[in-house]
Structure 1
Amino acid sequence: MSNLTETLALIAALGIAVQWLGWRARVPTIVLLLGCGLLAGPVLGVIRPSESLGPAYPALIELGVAAILFEGGLSLRWHELRQTAAGVWRLATLGVALSLGLGTLAAHLLGGLSWPVALVFAAIAVVTGPTVILPLLRQARLRRRPASLLKWEGIVNDPIGALLAVVLFEAMVSPGSPELGHTLAELLLGLVGAAAFGAAAGWSLGRLYLAGQVPEYLKGALALGVALGVFALANLVFVESGLVAATVMGVVLGNMGLPSIEEVRRFKESVAVLLVSGIFLLLSADLDPEILLALDWRSALLIVAMVLVVRPLAVLLATLGSGLEWRERVLLGWIAPRGIVAAAVAGVLGPGLVARGFADGALLLPLVFTLILVTVVAHGFSLGWLARRLGLSAAAREGLLICGASPWSCALAETLLAQQVPVRLADRSWHRLRAARQAGVPVYYGELLSEHAEGELELTDFGSLLAISGNDAYDSLVCAQYAPAFERRRVYQFPVESGHAQRRPGAGSRGRPFLVEGLQFEDLQREWYRGWTFQVTRLGEGFDLAALRRSLPEGARLVLLIDAAEGVRLAAADAPFRAAPGQRVLWFGPKGERGGGGDERG
């Protein structure tokens, strides 16, 4: 396909389709994107990006990477560094140095590369691309600290690795190469200058937002436009420093406490998903199978050493005495998928090495692309499994986060806890949490809408949110805040006032309606004080949901379903309540009057 319009349209459609398929099938999306690109490009020949796009091909890749790193910077929060600062600092400094040294030795001694080519290869291999890490983290559901370490390392090291590779290339292969001290000074100058420029741009744009000088509909687009401008200007001063500038700009802008930053983040996240999909398809579709044939057994040995020896050893040595647990160090030592930046830099520096008289520079691109393929597949499929084995990931998001402490919600939380379901009750009143605390229910005392809650709560334990504070407007705000983390279909709120549309938030800003239409918060409270309790019934082959409904006392309400695989599913007014044999149904009804079947608790 040589038509530019058709190529871009097909790339966009394929990318989003693969993203949806990966989410639906719970398969690492990056692996599917690489497979789809290889199928559409080298295998079937449907897409030839370099032919269709011509000179615009590398430019699109560079701009896409800059936008992705800016979006990654926006997602980095300072509060995440409270427990990970030492680890991130070690990985970004000592870890980079060790990876560079060990990788160079492996490339020269095992891969047979000349010292200059080995050094450039090792510098490129330092990066752990956020274009791969972020989608994997979204699916693997790691605990906060290991996820933060992987995210910060990927986003920080990506531009550093690219800049390091370019500086070393110029220092090692250019005529009249400067001494090592001059090279390091040049690298440091590029890093500091680009970081300062990006920080100034982010702070200035944030001040414009705070001063009300930018309309709401332009904020996301303006942030993206400025980030791309900062990237281009920084590159004019120092090659590849634009990635550093764009990343730092995102970090500064994302941590200024801007009122509308969440809207900017969501806009940029949507753009980043499209860009990641498109760029991975473009790179894999443009791969020439013949370049992989240039690799021999020494190349295979080098790739194995980079994955199984260099990365684990560099991480283990760099994090000694950093306060990280051994399980976290093992996970970090294994997970290091390379991504778009590595491929883009190798595609530029490989031909440059050949032009300077290093014939083995032709192996740089196939080596890097093979490393990308191996790490994306190996780490993409193993991250979730390894994290669960190490106890660093929630095996299933089956828990329930409840916003609003009342006698009714406290009893609900206590019943779920007795059923071995992760639950946490959140409220701004220490007094209202008293009964839950005395019953041993985990609580969060504070404001769910605060940044403190975002840093304190381990959301990987919970698959659903129920907002039942007794205030419609507040519950709607909580649902809107946490909908991206839980998905909107798993965010519920209980209407306080039924039938008063003029006094209720619009449907688009509320969670799903909990229980049935017409029921009010005061009704539940009244029934609780009349002696109603929560009870659990396990369904079986001879006792299905219909039989349970018939056996329930008059007025009893089905509240939620507990499933071993899918976790908690609440009853909603906008969907029928369904349950299968083996699942547990929690219902609320008169005390002492139980449904038949396998009752487990009253």
Structure 2
Amino acid sequence: MEGSFELTLQMVIAVCAGISAQVIAEYLKVPSIVFLLIFGVSLGSDGLGLLHPQELGVGLEVIVALSVAVILFEGGLNLNLRDLGKVSGSLRNLVTLGTLITLLGGGMAAHWLGEFPWSIAFLYAALVVVTGPTVIGPLLKQVKVDRRVAALLEGEGVLIDPVGAILSVVVLDTILNSDAGASAAIVGLGLRLGIGGVIGGIGGWLLGLFLKRADFLSEDLKNLVVLAGMLGLFGLAQTIRSESGLMATVVAGIVVGASSLPEERLLRRFKGQLTVLGVSVLFVLLSADLSIDSVFALGWGSVFTVLALMTLVRPVSVSLCTWNSGLNWRQKIFLSWIAPKGIVSASVASLFAILLTERGINGGDSIKALVFLTIMLTVFLQGLTARWVAQWLQLNPQEKATGAVIVGCNPLSRLIARLFQEQEEEVVLIDTDPEACQKAEEENLRVFQSSGLDVEVLEEAGIESVGTFLAMTNNGEVNLVLAQRAVEEFAPPRVVAVFPRDPQANTTNNKTKVNQAFVSQLPIKTWNKYIVEGQVKLGTTTLKELGLAFQRAHLQALIRAGELVPLLIERQGNLQVASANETWQADDQIIYLLHDPRPKLLKRLSGGSSSSRLAVEKLPEVEEIPISEPVEEKAVKEIANKPKGEKEAKVEG
């Protein structure tokens, strides 16, 4: 009983430490593996002595195997095949030619600089061929780079993991069975990749087909069915050929992800949570079992080995693999610098250390220490400097992305589109209503008659390069779905939508980075009616440091009364859609709509025509606008061209 309590306590400590490390890393915006390493070593035998992973015995190997399977499946599930298609040649080269270059270069560096025997040197090189997806994924969420570079790094991290793990097994088999020739090693590698690929492909297709037709299952149960199916495919592949299960899980994840499941978003969230838990527990346990003395015993030669891998082998590999890719030198430098190692390297190295020791072969502890040294240096040096390197190379799309893709061709969205257009920013409208699309075309706006869920149309509209995605159809729930899909598929810098103020919706909003557009509970149909009937004025005001509180209060009072809607904010030269939770700052220029029913009343009294227009005024004074003048076609352009504070143009409604 006491022994079982000790094992339970070990797992409790590992889970608590791992999740705590994730929380701290999330708060400080750094790769979580940094704190997972620190917590693991601190709690291990060289620290506080609270964690002793070796007490888990065979259980540690089981935890490692199943956790890595879940991690690789989740990586395959999140791979975007459309993005991979744009870099398919470079990705294929990195997974094949790049693997060979890293194996040869890393082996020579470990032998000549680290003074390892050739066999152990190449085993180390095989272990560090991989670039951990568990590090790359969080890193790219914090450091935004253009989609081609992100897709290449994510694809390499996922696809090369099973290749590297299987390659490591082949090299280990060669060491343990020294009489085996090179041909046997190549055949073993091919068999494992082939068997895993076939089982994963067929199994993933059957799993996706079952989920589409199993309408009687709840969403929660479907998530568990996927987990059980993935583990079943992993076990089947492992039974047929050892170490082929990793390839099976990756391929199964890719196939299931490409199956267009109706509950795909919930499935990805569930698998993402499992991955975070698996990575947290696994890395804490493995790093707690690391001997710091063994790392220091490696000497400076091992440090030079890792530096050579980072500054020489990786750049050569990237240069050759992306020779005719169309990537510019800035993108290639970033790819050359970002290649952190992660959980797969650590877990496989830990298992190999045990196997080598059991077979009486020296070098097991040294291999593990060198791999962990590689993880530490690559994560700390590359992970912590990635943001600075991206800014230096000007690869951050948020700093230069402008323009907007707007779903919905109602009068309000067309007005916003024209304001963007007159600021010389690209804007595209999308709607399924042919009449609304025709009106947009008459106003010289670029428009697609299609669904906002059509990924190909979104790509053609240029969502990958714009700064804002705005969903503002007349259906708030549809807008929220459109915005969430845009975040998941393309992750634009700013995603806003008109949707109801609902606690559940707001929770989802916060998780998916969808902001509520304009104001809470905007009655978009009402404001469209106001625009059509000419009951609005277009206004602009610049907030000043002196009197900022009064201006904010005045605006908020009009918003609460339903008389004013802030549309756009020009801040530091950037035009952006106003959001409901916006904190207005001094020097912000706010373009807004003000409800003014007087033009309609005067029209009725005078029997005038139904012409409508928007006028620009400055808050807090509201100037009356006579309606007898005709509507000016170039009103929006006049607003854009006049200096701030002097805009008194008229805009067609």
TM-score of Structure 1 vs Structure 2, range by shorter chain: 0.7 to 0.9
Correspondence for 1:475: 479
Correspondence for 1:153: 156
- Cα deviation for residue 207 of structure 1 reads 2.1
- Distance in 1 between the 2:442 and 2:102 partners? 51
Amino acid at match of 1:322: S
Contact 1:30 1:135 survives alignment (8 Å): no
Contact 1:562 1:583 survives alignment (8 Å): yes
| 1:302 paired to 2:305 | yes
| Cα distance change on mapping 1:430 and 1:338 into 2, 3 Å | farther
Contact 1:396 1:565 survives alignment (8 Å): no
| 1:382 paired to 2:381 | no
- Distance in 2 between the 1:297 and 1:134 partners? 31
Matches within 5 A, 1:439-478: 446-452=450-456, 465-478=469-482
Choose which of 581, 585, 591 in structure 1 pairs with 2:586. 581
| Cα distance change on mapping 1:392 and 1:569 into 2, 3 Å | same
Correspondence for 2:597: none
Contact 2:80 2:151 survives alignment (8 Å): no
Correspondence for 2:566: 558
Greater relative contact order (Cα < 8 A, sep 6+): 1
Correspondence for 1:221: 224
- Distance in 1 between the 2:31 and 2:505 partners? 36
Matches within 5 A, 1:308-387: 308-353=311-356, 358-387=361-390
| Cα distance change on mapping 1:41 and 1:118 into 2, 3 Å | same
| Cα distance change on mapping 1:27 and 1:186 into 2, 3 Å | closer
- Cα deviation for residue 397 of structure 1 reads 9.4
- Distance in 2 between the 1:424 and 1:34 partners? 46
- Distance in 2 between the 1:398 and 1:13 partners? 40
- Cα deviation for residue 588 of structure 1 reads 1.9
- 1:55-111 CA distances to partner (integer Å, 9 max, x unpaired)? 312321221111010011111232223211111111111111111111111111121
- Cα deviation for residue 179 of structure 1 reads 1.7
SS of 1:3's equivalent?
helix
Contact 1:47 1:285 survives alignment (8 Å): no
- Distance in 2 between the 1:113 and 1:195 partners? 34
Amino acid at match of 1:179: G
- Distance in 1 between the 2:435 and 2:37 partners? 54
Contact 1:398 1:568 survives alignment (8 Å): no
Correspondence for 1:492: 497
- 1:293-330 CA distances to partner (integer Å, 9 max, x unpaired)? 22112111111101111111112122222343333322
Correspondence for 1:527: 531
Choose which of 250, 275, 278 in structure 1 pairs with 2:253. 250
SS of 2:591's equivalent?
strand
- Cα deviation for residue 242 of structure 1 reads 1.0
SS of 2:592's equivalent?
strand
| Cα distance change on mapping 1:557 and 1:475 into 2, 3 Å | closer
Amino acid at match of 1:226: G
| 1:595 paired to 2:619 | yes
| 1:89 paired to 2:113 | no
Matches within 5 A, 1:537-548: 537-547=541-551
- 1:518-563 CA distances to partner (integer Å, 9 max, x unpaired)? 7342324423652745444332321315226548997333345555
| Cα distance change on mapping 1:553 and 1:19 into 2, 3 Å | closer
- Cα deviation for residue 432 of structure 1 reads 4.3
- 1:314-357 CA distances to partner (integer Å, 9 max, x unpaired)? 12122222343333322221111111111111112234445556
Contact 2:46 2:292 survives alignment (8 Å): no
SS of 1:557's equivalent?
strand
Choose which of 228, 233, 257 in structure 2 pairs with 1:230. 233
Contact 1:398 1:422 survives alignment (8 Å): no
Contact 1:535 1:599 survives alignment (8 Å): no
Contact 2:541 2:645 survives alignment (8 Å): yes
- Distance in 2 between the 1:57 and 1:34 partners? 17
Choose which of 416, 439, 442 in structure 2 pairs with 1:412. 416
- Cα deviation for residue 254 of structure 1 reads 1.3
Correspondence for 1:172: 175
- Distance in 2 between the 1:27 and 1:565 partners? 30
The structure with the larger Rg is: 2
| Cα distance change on mapping 1:148 and 1:509 into 2, 3 Å | closer
Correspondence for 2:293: 290
Amino acid at match of 1:204: L
Amino acid at match of 2:201: A
SS of 2:474's equivalent?
coil
User: Which moves more between the two structures, 433-442 or 195-204?
Assistant: 433-442
Amino acid at match of 1:411: L
| Cα distance change on mapping 1:99 and 1:436 into 2, 3 Å | farther
| Cα distance change on mapping 1:547 and 1:81 into 2, 3 Å | closer
- Cα deviation for residue 443 of structure 1 reads 6.1
- Distance in 1 between the 2:476 and 2:556 partners? 30
- Distance in 1 between the 2:298 and 2:407 partners? 57
| Cα distance change on mapping 1:521 and 1:21 into 2, 3 Å | farther
- Distance in 2 between the 1:241 and 1:338 partners? 21
- Cα deviation for residue 240 of structure 1 reads 1.8
Choose which of 90, 109, 112 in structure 2 pairs with 1:109. 112
- 1:251-302 CA distances to partner (integer Å, 9 max, x unpaired)? 1111123333333222212222222222223333332212212211211111
User: Which moves more between the two structures, 76-85 or 47-56?
Assistant: 47-56
Contact 2:539 2:616 survives alignment (8 Å): no
Matches within 5 A, 1:14-163: 14-41=17-44, 44-45=47-48, 47-51=50-54, 53-163=56-166
- 1:491-538 CA distances to partner (integer Å, 9 max, x unpaired)? 43156xx9xx9xxx9888898475254734232442365274544433
- Cα deviation for residue 398 of structure 1 reads 7.8
- Distance in 2 between the 1:443 and 1:560 partners? 21
| Cα distance change on mapping 1:4 and 1:195 into 2, 3 Å | same
Contact 2:64 2:282 survives alignment (8 Å): yes
Amino acid at match of 2:18: G
- Distance in 1 between the 2:385 and 2:462 partners? 22
SS of 1:426's equivalent?
strand
- Distance in 1 between the 2:344 and 2:125 partners? 14
Contact 2:483 2:495 survives alignment (8 Å): no
- Cα deviation for residue 583 of structure 1 reads 3.5
| Cα distance change on mapping 1:304 and 1:443 into 2, 3 Å | farther
Correspondence for 2:640: none
- Cα deviation for residue 424 of structure 1 reads 5.2
Contact 1:537 1:600 survives alignment (8 Å): no
Gaps of 5+ in 1: none
- Distance in 1 between the 2:26 and 2:450 partners? 33
- Distance in 2 between the 1:314 and 1:440 partners? 48
Amino acid at match of 1:594: K
- Distance in 2 between the 1:48 and 1:297 partners? 29
* Identical columns (%): 31
| Cα distance change on mapping 1:540 and 1:438 into 2, 3 Å | farther
- Distance in 2 between the 1:143 and 1:444 partners? 25
- Distance in 1 between the 2:64 and 2:552 partners? 58
Give the TM-score, by structure 1 length. 0.86
| Cα distance change on mapping 1:425 and 1:64 into 2, 3 Å | same
- Cα deviation for residue 368 of structure 1 reads 0.4
Correspondence for 2:214: 212
- Distance in 1 between the 2:498 and 2:482 partners? 9
Amino acid at match of 1:557: V
